[in-house]
Amino acid sequence: DAGVIQSPRHEVTEMGQEVTLRCKPISGHNSLFWYRQTMMRGLELLIYFNNNVPIDDSGMPEDRFSAKMPNASFSTLKIQPSEPRDSAVYFCASSLVRASNTGELFFGEGSRLTVL
Amino acid sequence: SQKIEQNSEALNIQEGKTATLTCNYTNYSPAYLQWYRQDPGRGPVFLLLIRENEKEKRKERLKVTFDTTLKQSLFHITASQPADSATYLCALGGLSGGSYIPTFGRGTSLIVHP
């Protein structure tokens, strides 16, 4: 199995530019999560989707952040315009969530974003 | 406010000893608790899950305890090896948008010396 695939692995951009991060979840998983990891705040949940529908986006820091999941095999996280404080590692994770809702998360390798 | 606490200081131990990592939480009623391992530059990898009605779970050299009265989980690695060196994250399954979603602690770094 390929696992969760994220791209790009590294992105360096200038303040004000648009950034798009991409994620392909594991086939058959019904939930997708976007997390952000920094030294200061650890791993923070930004948004999660269930069956391609956004369920909780309360972790999205500002209107500059948006996420979409047009189909079961693809999701994007977009930052527009980007700011230096957005510099972090962004992780996508997928899971097969059942009624018991204790499904383990499968993480991608992350996208390291640096905004200059 | 809800808080998950893991020791921010690295845990240094000698190979062969048992490593014990702690996860404390406040203002949570988690349905479950998970432990993940994260290596530098990699995504977290799931290790173990323990439910709120379970006291202890084992998997090979790993053991997790869950005390909902103390609001604490302990994660043990017996016969530790240098390859066990990594950051270990605990995650609590809390209700969000009608589902139980993992919320992560900041992790504790474990360094096993040969």
Model confidence pLDDT, tens digit, residues B27-85: 888 888 999 999 999 999 999 999 888 999 999 999 999 998 999 999 999 999 999 99
Measured CA angle at B36 (ends B16, A114), to 5 deg = 115
- To the nearest whole Å, the CA of A69 is away from the closest chain B CA by 17
What residue type is assigned to position A103 of the chain? G
Q: How far is CA A9 from the centre of its chain?
A: 12
Rounded Cα distance, A96 and B106, in Å: 24
**pLDDT tens for each residue of A40-58:** 889 999 999 999 999 889 8
Rounded Cα distance, A111 and A24, in Å: 13
The percent of chain A in helix, strand and coil, each rounded to the nearest 5, is 5, 55, 45
Is A101 in Cβ contact with B100 (below 8 Å)?
yes
Pick among B49, B66, B101 to test the A interface (most A CBs inside 10 A): B101
Rounded Cα distance, A23 and A74, in Å: 6
Q: What percent of chain A has pLDDT over 90?
A: 80
